[in-house]
Amino acid sequence: MSVHLQPRHPAVSSRVIQRIEIWPVDIPITDPFVVATGARVTAQNLFMRVTLQDGTQGIGEAAPFPEVGGEDRTSCLAAAKGLASALIGQSVGDYQDLADRLTEQAPLFPAARYGLETAILDAYCRTQRIPLWQLWGQADVRKRETDITIPICDMEKTVALSRG
């Protein structure tokens, strides 16, 4: 299925995506991350940089984790490259439509989509001279409760991790 985006507002040429770069990065994990389906000692992630026509850049990161979601770095990179080529020439001001389009085109590759979407949002916010958190209604950035995946480890460490 081909989707053509109609901008909600006239494209500002400085907001148009000119280039997208994607490169692998290995990040050592201080403690092995062990789940029932496997273990990780290195995060095999991808960094993504969106460059707009005026030189503004946005950065994103994809963190595929095959033991949980099935997406590994090789498949994530292939999906991200395919998605990136369709984003060239689009306006980051249409970030909501772009996110919808990414979801339609690659529903089974959330890490690839989220890395690109984060880079797009970062670039957009930089054009607006606002921090990313402000895009979501001036969100309060104080400490929040969240959930985490606690790896398989001994009882003492499990309790310590659960207490955060």
The per-residue pLDDT for range 104-148, each reduced to its tens digit, is 999 999 999 999 999 999 999 999 999 888 887 766 666 767 667
pLDDT score at 34 = 80
Rounded-to-integer distance, Cα 43 and Cα 109, Å: 17
What is residue 146's predicted lDDT score, i.e. its pLDDT? 67
Whether 99 is covered by a domain: the verdict is: yes
pLDDT at residue 88 tops 80: yes
Asked, for residue 91, whether it belongs to a domain, the answer is yes
Distances (CA, A) of 155 to 39, 41, 52, 149: 18, 20, 49, 15
* Structural domain contains residue 80: yes
Does the residue 138 lie in any domain?
no
Judge whether residue 12 has pLDDT over 70: no
Residue 119 falls inside a structural domain: yes
pLDDT digits (tens, 9 = 90+) for 31-50: 888 877 777 889 999 999 99
Close Cβ partners of 163 (under 8 Å, ≥ 6 residues apart): none
Residue 148: phi and psi, rounded to 5, are -140, 160
| Residue-level pLDDT at 151 | 78
Domain count, the chain: 1
> What residues have CB less than 8 Å from 125, skipping those under 6 apart?
58, 131, 132, 134, 135
Rounded average pLDDT over 17-42: 88
Indicate whether this model's pTM tops 0.75: yes
Is residue 25 included in any domain, yes or no?
yes
Q: Domain of 101?
A: 13-132+146-163
Among 25-29, 128-132, 147-151, whose mean pLDDT is lowest? 147-151
Stronger pLDDT, 161 or 53, i.e. the higher one: 53
- Burial profile 46-83: b = 16 or more Cβ within 10 angstroms, e = fewer: bebbbbbeeebebebbbbbbbeeeebebebbbebbeeb
Residue 137 maps to a domain: no
Q: What is the CATH number of the domain that holds 107?
A: 3.30.390.10
Query: What was the pLDDT predicted at 152?
Result: 80
